[in-house]
Structure 1
Amino acid sequence: MKNHHLTFCALSAVSMLALSSGAALADGEVNIYSYRQPELIQPLMDAFTKDTGIKTNVLFLDKGLVERISAEGANSPADVILTIDIARLMEAKDGGVTQALDDADINGQIPAQFRDPEGNWFGLTTRGRVIYASKERVSEDAITYEELADPKWKGRICMRDAQHSYNIGLFASMVAHHGAEYTETWLAGLKQNLVKKPDGNDRAQAKAIFSGECDLGLANTYYLGLMMTNEKEPEEKEWAGAVKVLFPNSGDRGTHVNISGMALAKNAPNKDNAVKLMEFLASDEAQTIYAEQVYEYPVGPNAKVSETVAGFGTIKADTLALADIAANRKTASELVDKVGLNDGPTQ
């Protein structure tokens, strides 16, 4: 955290200097506040600087990004916000720390379903909320989310905290497609099919499948890529090797996806440079780099999927607008509590 503090102090110092002189913050710079780990976005920043000569300053925060920018007010040095998850992007918009951007280059690259109708945020890459299935014990190569409530899976499913934003996103999509009443019944069925109370993270679900504790686990696609390539903790390669990816609803509406995305900060002092960075991030070149770094799917029409991600299988993304899914998050969260999903199955 010390480095993050230093980075922020440096940015603040530059901001104070610029304000006192009445000049723009800095001609050849752009300041990024990021919820994404610096090492994941650094290759993008390097490519942008090489292309444009504009220097990037990244402040990494693991929480409190909206509160930080709000507290900084009109003097905030933030130009661009980078984050994961539709919930975080909506939080930024609703928190009043973004501004609308209507840019033909960006809109041409990013499908409407993956951007805010008012231009306050834009998706860059997607990750599917998929099923990790045991290669040994699950013969099925296709599944639907609806089937997860089928009694044939009783005692065979594991998942992380049901209130985690990744799961709430999926459950909100079920509300959007089927309504609250159906979703409540479905969640109750899913609860009865769990092998234990929801716990751990997405990687832990692969570990539980590897150890024989469960046969199916709800997880994001990119964790499989991270596990498959983890040289520091090679046991994760074994977990990954035990599972195959099932893309739910490939035969009909498609698999629920969430996004990583960007937004233009409300008081961006380097707005021109910020827009240049956002246009770059929306480009096929940048999305190909980004998607490879984070094992996600680029949204650009000609951006390439990495070999590792292509190896998971073909994803057909649900075309439901993420803004519509986000509108049902509160209902989804209330239903999780109503059915007691985090209590696990009742015997």
Structure 2
Amino acid sequence: MARPPEGGDRDQICAVGAGVCEVALTNSYYYVRMATGEDAADRAITQKVKLGFPSLDGKGAHINISGGGVAANAPNKANALKLLEFFASADSQAHISKNNNEYPASPDVPAPPPVDAYATFTANPMSVAAFAARQPEAQSMMSAAGWR
């Protein structure tokens, strides 16, 4: 990268649009929000940059995941589980995706507009358990490389 990252995801997109750097890492929903929002300056920035999903050797792009759990000592486990089941339902996933410009967690729920325009990427199939087990190794490599 041309410089250490500064600010948040929108700032990274703006830096690429301003020519400060050629590549930035960002969550796709920020780009979609900027490209389809009411702010004309944000929309203009997204006309200068392209959202891409890098795929090393055709193995697919990394995707962030969201998850939920219930603590072992939770005082109201039954209702906590019901809440997680509610969030995982097709109706909730459709609502959350539509209102956050994110991809639904359920493969049975289609990506809503305008997210669907960017839904043709290939996701890396590595399980969360597999990359979680290697997180300390990855962190060590990033630290050795000076990543902050």
TM-score category, normalised to shorter length: 0.7 to 0.9
Question: Once superposed, what is the RMSD of the aligned Cα atoms?
Answer: 2.1
> Deviation digits for residues 247-281 of structure 1, max 9, x if unmatched?
11187211111112211233333332222222222
> Deviation digits for residues 58-103 of structure 1, max 9, x if unmatched?
xxxxxxxxxxxxxxxxxxxxxxxxxxxxxxxxxxxxxxxxxxxxxx
- The reply to whether residue 297 of structure 1 matches residue 103 of structure 2 is yes
- Percent identity between matched residues is 35
Q: Secondary structure at the match of 2:110?
A: coil
Partner in structure 1 of residue 19 of structure 2? 212
Letter in 1 for 2:49: V
Change (3 A) 1:282 1:250: farther
Letter in 1 for 2:28: T
Bigger drift between 333-342 and 206-215 goes to 333-342
Unmatched runs of 5 consecutive residues or more in structure 1: 1-193, 343-347
- The reply to whether residue 315 of structure 1 matches residue 121 of structure 2 is yes
Change (3 A) 1:251 1:341: closer
Partner in structure 2 of residue 263 of structure 1? 69
Letter in 1 for 2:55: N
Change (3 A) 1:250 1:316: farther
Partner in structure 2 of residue 200 of structure 1? 7
Query: How many residues align structurally?
Result: 148
8 A contact 1:208–1:214 mirrored in 2: yes
Partner in structure 1 of residue 43 of structure 2? 237
1:288 is displaced (CA, Å) by: 1.0
Letter in 1 for 2:53: F
> Deviation digits for residues 263-319 of structure 1, max 9, x if unmatched?
123333333222222222211111111111222111323212111111224121111
Alpha-carbon distance between aligned partners in 2 of 1:279 and 1:272, rounded to the nearest angstrom: 11
- The reply to whether residue 280 of structure 1 matches residue 86 of structure 2 is yes
Partner in structure 2 of residue 46 of structure 1? none
Q: TM-score, normalised by structure 2?
A: 0.85
Change (3 A) 1:286 1:313: closer
Match of 2:30 among 195, 198, 223: 223
Q: Secondary structure at the match of 2:120?
A: coil
Alpha-carbon distance between aligned partners in 2 of 1:307 and 1:207, rounded to the nearest angstrom: 23
Q: Higher strand proportion, which one?
A: 1
Letter in 2 for 1:340: G
Partner in structure 2 of residue 5 of structure 1? none
8 A contact 1:225–1:295 mirrored in 2: yes
8 A contact 2:111–2:119 mirrored in 1: no
Q: Aligned runs of 1:137-152 on 2, under 5 Å?
A: none
Give the structure, 1 or 2, with the largest relative contact order (CA under 8 Å, sep 6 or more): 1
Unmatched runs of 5 consecutive residues or more in structure 2: none
Q: TM-score, normalised by structure 1?
A: 0.39
Q: For the pair shown, which has the larger CA radius of gyration, 1 or 2?
A: 1
Q: Secondary structure at the match of 1:244?
A: coil
